[in-house]
């Protein structure tokens, strides 16, 4: 990547505490930092994917629960829900409130968006007759 620069490149949108020390480094040190940053980013992506897979394995509903939803004519297709992505989303059960007499449990779509988890309500686990 040999480009000629007639002036310093514009800085990326980084906090001052990161950008200013980088501007003081030699080209060789910057290349080392860039290589490390690239490897660190890849490692973090891998960690996020492993966490997603672990969480999904722990929380995703089983076939019997999916059949229950289908028997109740509740869609288990993410395309039928406005904000749910068609890939990466899965159905889980969340307990939203618990008292001495009752648990309030609901089916939700769950998926990862960047560094946060998103949910969308589907239906109660035990609908009142």
The 8 Å CB, 24+ separation contacts for 52-56 are 52/88, 52/112, 56/90
Angstrom distance (rounded) from CA 91 to CA 61:
6
Q: The whole model's pTM is what?
A: 0.64
Report pLDDT for 84. 94
38-70 pLDDT, tens digit per residue, is: 999 999 999 988 988 898 888 889 999 999 899
């Amino acid at each position: 990547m040999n480009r000629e620069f007639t002036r310093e490149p514009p800085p990326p949108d980084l906090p001052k505490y990161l950008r200013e020390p980088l501007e003081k480094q030699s080209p060789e040190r910057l290349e080392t930092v860039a290589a490390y940053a690239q490897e660190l980013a890849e490692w973090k992506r891998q960690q996020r994917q492993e966490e997603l897979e672990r969480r999904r394995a722990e929380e995703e509903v089983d076939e019997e629960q999916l059949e229950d939803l289908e028997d109740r004519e509740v869609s288990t297709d993410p395309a039928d829900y406005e904000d749910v992505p068609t890939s990466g989303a899965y159905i889980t059960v969340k307990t939203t409130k618990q008292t001495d007499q009752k648990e309030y449990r609901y089916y939700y779509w769950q998926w990862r968006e960047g560094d946060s988890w998103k949910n969308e309500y589907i239906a109660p686990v035990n609908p009142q007759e």
